[in-house]
Amino acid sequence: MTASPNASARLHRLFEGHRLTPTQRRIAHCMVRQAADAPFLSSIELAELAGVSQPSVTRFAVALGFDGYPALRKHLRDAAPAGPETAARGAVNQYQEAIQAEIENLRHLSSLLSDPTPVTRAGHLLAASRPLPVLGLRSAAAQARAFAYFAAKVHPDIRLLDEAGSLLHDRLDHARHSGATALLCFALPRHPRELLDALSYARSLGLTVITIADGAFAPVAAHCDLLLPAPVGTGLVFDTVSAPMLLGQVLLEAMCDGLPDAQARLEEFDARAAARGLFVE
């Protein structure tokens, strides 16, 4: 779609007077080139068009004085004159926008998985660790619990670490002394300081730290041996995490591939569940 001169001029005025980093200027130039579509681009779409990371887009919006990228996009939409394209896009409500952004996050994750090597390597490292500690604090605790629940059906010794405090280091010590060689971590915004401390301590014990995080530039990156990025959605009051959750299931599949007796364990569980009448058919 061709941008009007007024649209480009409005963007130039928005950027004037701000000291932008080279990466932020790159985003600004991209938005000017895509002035007509800029109010409707998700942060993932803008990041891909500009060739930068999604967190860079968020920092760019904050540098312009907005609370985040959704606030910047809303400002651009409010400033755009009404027209056929605007009307058509305006028919999508905020809840649909959040879902569409999450769909884009899943597409982005799919493109990252075009090279399965990191996930395959991570799966084999997790399969070889006996026991396998699985760490997730605060907002990431639910992802860690879900992974641990399913992983326990195929892995002989899963240890869920979903509470911080002075006992966390003790539990890491115990896992390492019991033979653990790797740690799986789920790290999602906002990243608690105690998580960084735990990861640093885990590496000091000699554990290989594998982390599913919201991006390659997440604060936990410096404390990981292998980071698997999966974007989170920021269109609602609380982040949406479909991509990290799905990546956890993909990693679980890769771990099963590294466990030669995984299928036998699943069949044994199903037989016991049927004998106990555990599930309603």
Does residue 3 register a pLDDT over 50?
no
Q: What pLDDT band is residue 81 in, cutting at 50, 70 and 90?
A: low
Superfamily for the 117-276 domain: Glucose-6-phosphate isomerase like protein; domain 1 (3.40.50.10490)
pLDDT value at position 113?
Answer: 93
Does residue 35 register a pLDDT over 60?
yes
Q: Tell me the mean pLDDT in the region 123-131.
A: 97
Say what the pTM is. 0.70
Does residue 263 register a pLDDT over 60?
yes
pLDDT value at position 6?
Answer: 67
Q: How far apart are CA 166 and CA 218, in angstroms?
A: 24
> For all residues of the chain together, what is the average pLDDT?
89
Closest CA to 223 of 204, 238, 246: 204
> Where in the chain are the domains?
5-91, 117-276
pLDDT tens readout for residues 91-113: 677 788 888 888 888 988 999 99
**Among the ranges given (62-76, 143-157, 198-212, 240-254), the one the predictor scored with the smallest mean pLDDT:** 62-76
**Top mean-pLDDT range of 132-146, 230-244, 255-269:** 132-146
Q: What is the CATH number of domain 5-91?
A: 1.10.10.10
Does residue 82 register a pLDDT over 70?
no
Q: Tell me the mean pLDDT in the region 131-139.
A: 97
**Among the ranges given (25-39, 150-164, 206-220), the one the predictor scored with the smallest mean pLDDT:** 25-39
Q: Are strands 226-229 and 182-187 parallel, antiparallel or unpaired?
A: unpaired
Q: How far apart are CA 131 and CA 182, in angstroms?
A: 9
Q: How far apart are CA 1 and CA 8, in angstroms?
A: 13
Does residue 132 register a pLDDT over 80?
yes
Does residue 5 register a pLDDT over 50?
yes
Distances 278 to 16, 268, 269 between C-alpha atoms, Å? 65, 14, 11
